[in-house]
Structure 1
Amino acid sequence: MPVDKKELIKILKKIEETSKKRNFTESVELTVNFKDIDLKKPENRINTELVLPNEIEEEARICVIASGELAVKAKELNVNVLDKDELQGLTGNKKAMRKLAKSFDFFVASVDLMPLVGRILGAVLGPRGKMPKPIPPNTDLKSIIENYKRTVRLRMRDNPCLHAKVGVRGMDEEKLAENITAVISFLEEKLERGPNSIKSIYVKTTMGSPVRVPYVRGKR
């Protein structure tokens, strides 16, 4: 691992100690800058979800699109539900659909509603990388919700960089470091040139200044 975990923990502790206290819980954000990547090639654009070792935050913003038993299960777990009638009611209402897309980080939908979801929400959720994962009726919804508390969306757009929320202020620095190294390890495996495609790494809080993380590139 080209990132020294002990050094990373020191950096995270210093950020926590020197950052101003805010009247809201700031996110801890990771930025990875890349080099020598041809973004015209679709395979070089990372767009995926990654389950991290530790929870990013206590509550993940999840919307379950379902009716019947699956909707009941979701409500019992205090998860937001969009039922079939509400879904159909969004037809043609672009403002409401954009608001929905912005309100949630992740969407899941019952298998039977996926064609309808595609027709109504596909044009809004698709470009944002938020198309729902289909789930069958007998799925252990609780496990899915728990996993999403540890899930980060990794998405590279038009610039050779990637931003990811890896935790929140007040989180144990070792757990934050584990989440950060998990993202970097994934990128090293995913990128064609491995560590040599990574130009620089920064960590910051929502309102804070970026702090560079030392990164030693290996050969591949």
Structure 2
Amino acid sequence: MEKDQIKPKIEDALSKRTERKFKQSVEVIFNFSDVNVEGEHKLNLNVQLPRGRGKDVEVGVFADGDMNVRAKKVSKHVLSKSELEEYAKDKREMRKFAGRCYSFIAQPDLMATIGKSWGIVLGPRGKMPQPVPPNANIDDAMEKVKNTVRVKTKKMPNVQVPVGTEDMTPDDLAENIMAVYTAVERVIHVDHISSVYVKTTMGEAVQIW
């Protein structure tokens, strides 16, 4: 699959979208054949979109000290170690907190605590935090996570992945789709990719191949 092959299909999908009062996402759908998505062909990938997501998402931060202070300037969802432990006493509250954020980053020395107490909630959702050094630039770390999408198979032989929004250019969207395709093809050979579609949230799916 080549970028020039994708662009006209994106243009077609955008032209067929139904106007809505919200900014629609653009999604790519991969359908697979003759694969074991619970075994050797299981996908559980994080792919950074080179041209960005096209919209903001909430990122939570688990950190202490100076990193905690800096994180609160850029995120509404920041927990210290003691707050992590307090939340861990109530699984319902943990689920609510996890649901508020698309992704998380964490101070490396808190990862063991998070895995032990929060893993049961964050793990199945694919939201285990990315470790970030305490002296790292929080803005850069959060921007990277915001522009990273999860590509995860469940029980069915397909995945549907957001690759941007309807106001992005077809060229940028095509570049994002190629990034996802490249990551998928490393795990599932092209011979097992039976079809690929692109669509907007409420629009008609257009076949790329």
TM-score normalized with structure 1 length? 0.87
Q: Distance in 1 between matches of 2:88 and 2:75?
A: 26
Query: Residue type matched to 2:172 in 1?
Result: K
Q: Specify every segment of 5 or more residues in structure 1 that has no aligned partner in the other structure, as ranges.
A: 215-220
1:22-171 alignment, distance < 5 Å: 22-41=20-39, 43-78=40-75, 80-171=77-168
Runs of 4+ in 1 over 4 A off after TM superposition: none
**Does the CA contact (< 8 Å) of 1:107 and 1:133 recur in 2?**
yes
For each residue in 1:175-210, what CA deviation from the matched residue of structure 2 results, as whole angstroms up to 9, or x when unmatched?
00110111112222222xx21010111111111222
| 1:10 is the counterpart of 2:8 | yes
**Does the CA contact (< 8 Å) of 1:60 and 1:148 recur in 2?**
no
**Does the CA contact (< 8 Å) of 1:57 and 1:149 recur in 2?**
no
Q: Distance in 2 between matches of 1:187 and 1:209?
A: 23
Query: Residue type matched to 1:21 in 2?
Result: E
Of 56-65 and 29-38, more deviation after overlay is shown by 56-65
Question: 1:139 Cα shift?
Answer: 1.9
Question: 1:125 Cα shift?
Answer: 0.7
**Does the CA contact (< 8 Å) of 2:31 and 2:159 recur in 1?**
yes
SS, match of residue 44 in structure 1: coil
* Aligned alpha-carbon RMSD (Å): 1.8
Question: 1:68 Cα shift?
Answer: 1.3
Query: Residue type matched to 2:10 in 1?
Result: L
Aligned to 2:171: 174
Q: Distance in 2 between matches of 1:11 and 1:81?
A: 41
TM-score normalized with structure 2 length? 0.91
Cα separation, partners in 2 of 1:40 and 1:182, compared to 1, 3 Å: closer
Of 85-94 and 22-31, more deviation after overlay is shown by 85-94
Question: 1:105 Cα shift?
Answer: 1.6
Question: 1:102 Cα shift?
Answer: 2.1
SS, match of residue 9 in structure 2: helix
Aligned to 1:217: none
Aligned to 1:185: 182
Question: 1:40 Cα shift?
Answer: 3.9
Question: 1:103 Cα shift?
Answer: 1.8
Query: Residue type matched to 1:12 in 2?
Result: I
Question: 1:78 Cα shift?
Answer: 4.1
Q: Distance in 2 between matches of 1:209 and 1:100?
A: 34
SS, match of residue 154 in structure 1: strand
Q: Specify every segment of 5 or more residues in structure 2 that has no aligned partner in the other structure, as ranges.
A: none
SS, match of residue 76 in structure 1: coil
Q: Distance in 1 between matches of 2:187 and 2:157?
A: 14
Query: Residue type matched to 1:204 in 2?
Result: K
Of 79-88 and 54-63, more deviation after overlay is shown by 79-88
Aligned to 1:218: none
Number of positions where the alignment pairs a residue of Structure 1 with one of Structure 2 = 209
